[in-house]
Chain A
């Protein structure tokens, strides 16, 4: 008798514990009728236990995705196996509004949910325990981290001065375009160009003026290129452009347009007008290349010829001339 009393008392504080724990606890039977609804559930949903217990869960919580939740519960019953769902999969089981005016950053509570088959005394499973964890803090910081990481990724591929891709990222793009062109056997061109007598610009007008010239060149390049073309700052005053799906004859249309625009525009820096020109080398991808570096070498050679030929011109690589 005293043993029973003790057990009853023990049961009492155990229930108190389950009531106050800061985790949502629901027990449902096979017909999805609620059997247990602890304080966490009451406080976040605003529904007291006597309104919920004995009633259909979906009738009480209309925001549960019924088909999805039924499927999860049925697999737990069938396999007698726990099931876990994460906030990445589905942000919440039951939508609870953010309740923290100061530290709450999300609109609603992100939840991880565990479903547990509950064994009855006769070894059969007629009840399912549903545990709801508030993972809002984890979820929001992870989402923020992802956002920051993607911003960092953008930053890490951008050249600060011009806003074009930097050399590292541009070369990565070139490498993958090389692989693509090789696989699809489609033509692709790359253009290497640089500013003629750039040292003289720096020496005559100063480095800030040189920077302005580089920036203006990038801006003109951006205006002339198609959206699919990939432009990057390769070095100091050297630029690279990948012209996807383009044969070298058509590439010269682009390079000539760019060359003429730059020739005609002048950059104004501190009241002084600077005129300058560019030289361009064009090379079409060749199936004999074993890597993209050979592609760069060819356009470099074409650029060299453009310089040798008197600058302010575009030259298409046409094979060894010697």
Chain B
């Protein structure tokens, strides 16, 4: 009997990767959904006996889907597939009734192990089929998905170091003119009290700078979480800030490099300023670059006033090489 499988993820690339990771001899009919609300409709229509569910999605996220499935007693076996790999995310979805938790990017063997463990695959051996063939993945979409996975890894480290739950947002990916960068940054923080650090990276023809912008209101909470006592003067702020920057920038860049199967050389981080505002950050940067690929990742810590933004700005020369690398992952 053909099993009805639903893959729910806001990213085309993630849907394609997931579909490709399903065992080729599995007798299934696959449907797709782009957010939680769509997924619930498909499940209600009986087309989601097994649901592969992403957590961070617009409209309705994975947690809300799990709650709805439980509240409405819908018949579906849910396997969470997530870039958010914090221990607490795992605990939360398990408590909400998810059967299993798979880290992105998905590995074929891991899917098979889980399907076999829960006897979902059974004896229903079908034909080899290309279920993912007609999913078109564009460049920005795949950038968003690798950023999503890298963001999840960095968030996980931060969560473990601080002993908190980090709320992740959906990465924003844009090809923008450098002149628009100021506007993009303005949305990050309009406050006067920001700290910022910048770190260059380069490898396999892909290069750029990672910029971490930190709202200074965060420092008192960070100090508390890191067991810093005493006055939080400028030196202590810089120390705390560099610790967080090492974690987030390092993990994010390594996360991206690992997925692209390359490695980056990281330059020494440069402190752009303490107690500055956004327009001070870009002062004197006429720049030789006209365009940049910008990936913006926001981190917010639940129940705390800790907020920071990570921007990955790639040179325009990197785009062809990045496209090439991403196509290796997809095809």
When A and B form their complex, what is the total count of cross-chain residue pairs whose Cβ atoms lie within 8 Å? 44
Would B161 and A82 count as touching, CB distance under 8 A? no
Would B271 and A86 count as touching, CB distance under 8 A? yes
Q: How far is the CA of A85 from the CA of B238 in the complex (A)?
A: 10
A88 interface contact, C-beta 8 A: yes
Q: How far is the CA of A52 from the CA of B269 in the complex (A)?
A: 30
A246 interface contact, C-beta 8 A: no
Interface size on B, residues (CB 8 A): 18
Would B250 and A88 count as touching, CB distance under 8 A? no
Residue from the list A79, A84, A89 in contact with B251, Cβ < 8 A: A79
B247 interface contact, C-beta 8 A: yes
Would A81 and B246 count as touching, CB distance under 8 A? yes
Would B235 and A84 count as touching, CB distance under 8 A? no
Q: How large is the interface on A (under 10, 10 to 19, 20 to 34, 35 or more residues)?
A: 10 to 19
Q: How far is the CA of A84 from the CA of B238 in the complex (A)?
A: 12
> Could you tell me the distance in whole angstroms from the C-beta of A1 to the nearest C-beta in chain B?
33
A275 interface contact, C-beta 8 A: no
Residue from the list A79, A88, A133 in contact with B161, Cβ < 8 A: A79
Would B271 and A79 count as touching, CB distance under 8 A? no
Main secondary structure of the interface of A (DSSP, over half): mixed
Would B254 and A75 count as touching, CB distance under 8 A? no
Would A89 and B235 count as touching, CB distance under 8 A? yes
A112 interface contact, C-beta 8 A: yes
Would A79 and B242 count as touching, CB distance under 8 A? no
Q: How far is the CA of A88 from the CA of B243 in the complex (A)?
A: 14
Residue from the list B235, B250, B254, B271 in contact with A83, Cβ < 8 A: B250
Would A82 and B238 count as touching, CB distance under 8 A? no
Would B268 and A82 count as touching, CB distance under 8 A? no
B239 interface contact, C-beta 8 A: yes
> Could you tell me the distance in whole angstroms from the C-beta of B286 to the nearest C-beta in chain A?
19
B residues apposed to A, CB below 8 Å: 157, 161, 199, 235, 238-239, 242-243, 246-247, 250-251, 254, 266, 268-271
Q: A79-B157, A84-B266 provided; 14 other pairs, C-beta below 8 A? A: A75-B161, A75-B243, A75-B246, A78-B161, A79-B247, A79-B250, A81-B157, A81-B254, A82-B246, A84-B199, A84-B269, A86-B268, A89-B235, A90-B239
